[in-house]
Structure 1
């Protein structure tokens, strides 16, 4: 057995007769390397196993030399001919975008620019990139030396201006450095808060957006006269007064109450409704608002129960779909409460110790406007600023209730708030209030410092 294996191992194999499929690349390779062995053995020895040792001995020693003898330039030339067209187009686009100058390409595929002939980008791509970078740097240096920027031409001679002018290095645009808040006598209320929930870095941008959107989401101030014929202003006031009691019963946050009234008025501004469905509309709007504002919203059955089961669950769900589709699901509304939070911070900035009475009194005056139909003509930011103005005057008549800090953050001057403040003071002095006393009773509680009982001894009209 051993001799048989040795005989098989020493038996010469006819490796020069390829039986496998020869491709063009392999035929070319065999011709250039003086006949390397094929990948597979001869057909005569297919039935016998050829060991690795025999294959190693059969391989010629000059294989490495033959590989090195292959002409390397041939493959590079093929790759160059295939890829240079797309590569040149790519770099032409890069150079055109960077320089803004036309670059023409001749028939031979070379780049021509200002009489210079550039080599193919496949061979010298790094040089093309260096040219692009150098051109951009030269343009920036040229613009800096001339004292100009792409956006605005600066004067050649320096002039004295009130605001400091500077050119931003990152975008090359003209920037006007605004006068600091301290120079204007304004206290920066965002720099004091370290609570991440106050969103101090973004507060200014957030309220800029709210100031813009409050006009779009504002209900019509005269829908009672133009559209509604079956309900009156008094019915609306009674409904909202009852919703105040519901929010207290279910311990809802104030934002839910404000959003409820906004959804109610916006729906009534576009859709006619019978007085038999007015309470259904009120509880449905509060259901939608609680889903949006509350952490744990109340169930539909609870709102049906609060109406003494006057309406069924199916009716509330149907009305909910009707309201949402009419309002196009636009529930993010800048209400008076959202502006009031910001303005209270600005009002407290001038106090050494924050005044709790000021916060409660401002909230009380703002909620009084929910019941009054006449306040729909005012923007929520104006109502919130007027509540702060009257609250500060009610608590302290020795000082001007308006200051540069409040004017900066509310974006309203004291003269612009005159009509709203005077109308709000009439609500404050109206102790009778008829049947609508839910808000007054709410803020008469000790937890709110009984702010509904406070009155200013002097009229606020003297300030205007």
Structure 2
């Protein structure tokens, strides 16, 4: 057997480079891997792939490209794209082709359980609707009359006085709550049984004269209401003869003016206006006697204190409304029965209520007035009718001071209004 000659391999130059190329060749993908990659891409793009059974030559690739372009142009011609009323064909054909070849998102159909309508996600959202049970409940309440109308909002009447330190907007609610609690302390009740020489008619004549004096001296309204309060409280504590009744009136006014006015009238002025019926010493002695009986208790809530608050709550509040309320308030001062039967807050609220009825304000008694006065319309009806009766009887009454005062154009002539029907 012939021996085989083994020729040793000669080392070649660049052997290291050949080993690197062989190592890289092991990591390269085969053709079927490239085909797999193309198939995955087709699935993502959701486009059917043409099955190629023969090698793609240059001429065959050009033919495929021409067929694809012809199919795209055919689709564009069927449905022309319009932008601002002009066709895009001939303007930007390449952009139109790209738009036509883009894959369209599949529409997701959502069936609504309430309306039975279908809508596309992303384009039409389901509108919020009320439950069927709530609709039936609302209809049942409306049919039975159970539905409640929303109440009128209470207006913050102190909002404009937040920067006014004298208005004390932070404490005004507490102050008037205190006035309501203590108004019975300064209230007078029927005292004519203890008086032997005077009666309610004499008292009315005296108050009517004091209103004239008050107007003559141009005093504040606070002084008038406090004068009547001081006089009534003193007469309820001590019986006085008829000849001293006017002396009690001017002494009470002197005390009230010293308490309320900046410049109080002098004693000589009050003596002169009373036709010098009394001496100076008599006025000073009576002043001292009144203060002693009242124990110097002068800080009492009169009807005026509540009137200014309730007029402010009477929205809209104007000068006519203010004068009309004070007109009915002063009518109440002249009536003995009104001052002894009703508290100061009830008299003030009734005066505002009748004033609104006379001027035809609507609503007559709103939620704001109900909140600040604490009285409903029914609670004021009785006192209001008494005030309307006083207004109706002014033509036959001899007490004309209030009528003359509020018939003046400066007071908007509110006394000339006809009485309201309540």
Cα distance between partner residues in 2 of 1:356 and 1:298: 28
Cα distance between partner residues in 2 of 1:433 and 1:332: 36
Cα distance between partner residues in 2 of 1:241 and 1:328: 27
Note the C-alpha offset of 1:432.
Answer: 1.4
Q: What is the DSSP-based 3-state SS (H/G/I as helix, E as strand, rest coil) of the residue aligned with 2:375?
A: coil
Match of 1:426 in 2: 389
Match of 1:313 in 2: 280
Task: Provide the TM-score with structure 2 as the length reference.
Answer: 0.62
Note the C-alpha offset of 1:244.
Answer: 0.6
Note the C-alpha offset of 1:184.
Answer: 6.6
Indicate if the aligned counterparts of 2:321 and 2:355 stay in contact, CA closer than 8 A. yes
- Which of 340, 351, 371 matches 1:408? 371
1:122-153 CA distance string (max 9 Å, x none): xxxxxxxxxxxxxxxxxxxxxxxxxxxxxxxx
Indicate if the aligned counterparts of 2:327 and 2:414 stay in contact, CA closer than 8 A. yes
- Which of 386, 391, 413 matches 2:350? 386
Cα distance between partner residues in 2 of 1:367 and 1:443: 10
Match of 1:396 in 2: 360
1:375-409 CA distance string (max 9 Å, x none): 12100000000011111111116x33111110110
Question: Is the counterpart of residue 204 in structure 1 residue 167 in structure 2?
Answer: no
Question: Is the counterpart of residue 450 in structure 1 residue 417 in structure 2?
Answer: no
Note the C-alpha offset of 1:183.
Answer: 7.8
Cα distance between partner residues in 2 of 1:275 and 1:288: 21
Q: Which runs of 4+ in 1 moved over 6 A?
A: none
- Which of 246, 249, 252 matches 1:279? 246
Cα distance between partner residues in 2 of 1:323 and 1:455: 40
Match of 2:104 in 1: none
Q: What is the DSSP-based 3-state SS (H/G/I as helix, E as strand, rest coil) of the residue aligned with 1:219?
A: coil
Q: What is the DSSP-based 3-state SS (H/G/I as helix, E as strand, rest coil) of the residue aligned with 1:192?
A: helix
Structure 2 unaligned spans of 5+ = 1-149
- Which of 192, 201, 207 matches 2:160? 192
Cα distance between partner residues in 2 of 1:325 and 1:355: 41
Match of 2:185 in 1: 216
Note the C-alpha offset of 1:356.
Answer: 1.6
Question: Is the counterpart of residue 297 in structure 1 residue 297 in structure 2?
Answer: no
Match of 1:239 in 2: 206
Structure 1 unaligned spans of 5+ = 1-181
Cα distance between partner residues in 2 of 1:434 and 1:290: 29
Q: What is the DSSP-based 3-state SS (H/G/I as helix, E as strand, rest coil) of the residue aligned with 1:316?
A: helix
Match of 2:421 in 1: 459
Indicate if the aligned counterparts of 2:151 and 2:367 stay in contact, CA closer than 8 A. no
Match of 1:255 in 2: 222
Cα distance between partner residues in 1 of 2:350 and 2:277: 39
